[in-house]
Amino acid sequence: MPGRLQRARSGEAVAEAAVPVLSAADYQGILADTLAAGHRLLACWGEPRPEGRVLVTAAIAGDRDPTVGLLSTLAGGPLPSLAGECPAVHLFERELAEQLGVVPAGHPWFKPVRFEPPLRPGPDPWGRTLPLAGVAGVPPFFAVEGEEVHEVAVGPVHAGVIEPGHFRFQCHGESVLHLEISLGYQHRGVERLLAGGPTARTVALVESIAGDTAVGHALAHARAVEGLAGVEAPPRAAALRAVALELERLASHVGGLGGLAADIGFQPTASACGALRAEFLNALAELCGNRFGRGLVIPGGVRFDLSAGEAAALAARIDRAWAQVEGTARVFFRAASVRNRIDGIGVVAPRLARRLGLVGPSGRASGIATDARASHPFPPYDAARLTPAVQEAGDVAARARIRRDEAAWSAAFVAAALRALPPGPVAVAVPPPRGDRLVISLVEGWRGEICHAIRTGADGRFARYKVVDPSFHDWMGLQVALRGQQISDFPLCNKSFDLSYAGHDL
């Protein structure tokens, strides 16, 4: 990484003044160079400054350096778009325009992201003013023209019990030429509500960024706040947090395999995984009373402890459940009727995945061997020596195998961690956050890298709280995976990515 960046470890707060404010040309030059050199954009956000200007800050990271690079620029008008050169930034640029009016000049597909009102007064770049009620999913949509081309529009309300989103398929017969996904229906103003915190509501709110990733987001938040306050959670708390994070991964990956099986119509694995997913959710509930781990992780540690007997019983339960998952997964991956549906379907080639900046299992299925548990580890992952699971095929089968392999690691990790919980307290007192600090907190949730960025004002309150759920990086992956596919394979491709609408929409 170039020397002109401020570096910080994940969860380490730096003085706001230490982050260099570069000229727009330098900022963009460094961003483009580092991304081209294989680094990834973790987050990019704006904050209003006097005279209509916007302080834009980017956080970048690589695989070999356990730090995060920070750089800023003060934008007084449009910035030239980098999306053509570095597609990974395309949605961040649109978000910046929607929230704070920084127009990415020359952006190839300039649209609002969430159809949310701007974070500062006045019309946004599309001339929209408040109130913006009920305008999500409006045209234009990328359209293909031709005599035999037709368009299929689906959503926001779908056939299953799932979250809302709008999908526009450009089709020729059964085959999809292009898919555009328009989201924002789940927007509920999370970042607005977090600003001004911490309050009594803050933890419950971050647990509601994506309900199936409550532990992941709560942990990213807790580590950020601990960084701002200058404390660290005690070892026993760190171990219990990791147990919860891996249980969340297990539940989601096992449930995801079951979902794929259901979409294929392979009933044995579909029903078995439905029940086995519950084993891991119930294990979380044994720990904290809630099946999604809500209420467990707080700044300073965790709210619940396990006795030696409870921990041993839970470990045995995980071992038993995992043995059953292995059995049903083996049957799934061996069945010809399954192979026939998942091999070579929904391919995202490694080169494209890298350019799009895919993260998590979706990225690792396309050869991107990045996992924040390995690249930016915190206790106890620093001692766990995780080697990221990786596949090269980039298809539905690869994404499914990644999830099975990661779940296997998690099951072994959880059982071992429960049998060797370090002694001591499960929480420490957390003083108020220090003022004028910036912290980036990275956690590898089950969908990939979760990034929370907090800047405190002089009073120590959250002046800006930026959340990046891994889904924000990965939705574009699903859109390109559909190209050239049968439209009937959409549910399967969608399930193989298993992305969060709520996490994207905030």
Binding-site ranges for another protein (CB under 8 A): 114-117, 131-136, 156-157, 159-164, 184-189, 192-193, 200-205, 207-212, 214, 268, 271-272, 274-275, 277-278, 281-282, 285-292, 294-295, 303-304, 324, 327-328, 330-331, 334-335, 500-502
Instruction: Work out how close the CB of 374 gets to another protein at its nearest, in angstroms, rounded to a whole number.
Output: 27
CA distance 354 to 349: 9
**240, 305 in Cβ contact below 8 A?**
yes
Comparing CB distances to another protein, the nearer of 35 and 97 is: 97
Comparing CB distances to another protein, the nearer of 188 and 483 is: 188
Q: In which element (H, E) is residue 181 found?
A: strand 175-182
Instruction: Work out how close the CB of 235 gets to another protein at its nearest, in angstroms, rounded to a whole number.
Output: 23
**224, 11 in Cβ contact below 8 A?**
yes
CA distance 143 to 294: 42
Comparing CB distances to another protein, the nearer of 404 and 437 is: 404
**443, 467 in Cβ contact below 8 A?**
no
Instruction: Work out how close the CB of 178 gets to another protein at its nearest, in angstroms, rounded to a whole number.
Output: 24
Comparing CB distances to another protein, the nearer of 17 and 130 is: 130
Comparing CB distances to another protein, the nearer of 159 and 383 is: 159
Q: Is 80 helix (H, G, I), strand (E, B) or coil?
A: strand
Residue with tokens 């600003």: 195
Comparing CB distances to another protein, the nearer of 40 and 187 is: 187
User: Tokens for 264?
Assistant: 């294929």
Comparing CB distances to another protein, the nearer of 149 and 195 is: 195
Comparing CB distances to another protein, the nearer of 67 and 324 is: 324
User: Tokens for 109?
Assistant: 């597909």
Instruction: Work out how close the CB of 230 gets to another protein at its nearest, in angstroms, rounded to a whole number.
Output: 23
Backbone angles phi, psi at 62, to 5 degrees: -120, 180
Instruction: Work out how close the CB of 420 gets to another protein at its nearest, in angstroms, rounded to a whole number.
Output: 22
Instruction: Work out how close the CB of 344 gets to another protein at its nearest, in angstroms, rounded to a whole number.
Output: 24
CA pseudo-torsion sign 502, 156, 169, 266: positive
Give the bridge partners for 44, in sequence order: 58
**403, 253 in Cβ contact below 8 A?**
yes
CA distance 460 to 432: 7
Alpha carbons within 13 A on the beta-carbon side of 71: 21
- Distances from the Cα of 322 to the Cα of 194, 314, 421, angstroms: 38, 12, 20
Comparing CB distances to another protein, the nearer of 292 and 381 is: 292
* Of 291, 294, 262, 295, nearest in space to 277 by CA: 291
Instruction: Work out how close the CB of 286 gets to another protein at its nearest, in angstroms, rounded to a whole number.
Output: 5
Q: In which element (H, E) is residue 16 found?
A: none
Instruction: Work out how close the CB of 228 gets to another protein at its nearest, in angstroms, rounded to a whole number.
Output: 20
Comparing CB distances to another protein, the nearer of 278 and 386 is: 278
Give the bridge partners for 453, in sequence order: 440, 466
**506, 191 in Cβ contact below 8 A?**
yes
Instruction: Work out how close the CB of 378 gets to another protein at its nearest, in angstroms, rounded to a whole number.
Output: 24
Rg (CA), the chain: 22
Residues 6 or more apart whose CB falls under 8 angstroms from that of 309 comprise none
Residue with tokens 């990221």: 388
User: Tokens for 224?
Assistant: 């950020």
Comparing CB distances to another protein, the nearer of 185 and 465 is: 185
Instruction: Work out how close the CB of 194 gets to another protein at its nearest, in angstroms, rounded to a whole number.
Output: 11
Instruction: Work out how close the CB of 149 gets to another protein at its nearest, in angstroms, rounded to a whole number.
Output: 27
Pairing type for strands 104-105 and 149-154 reads unpaired
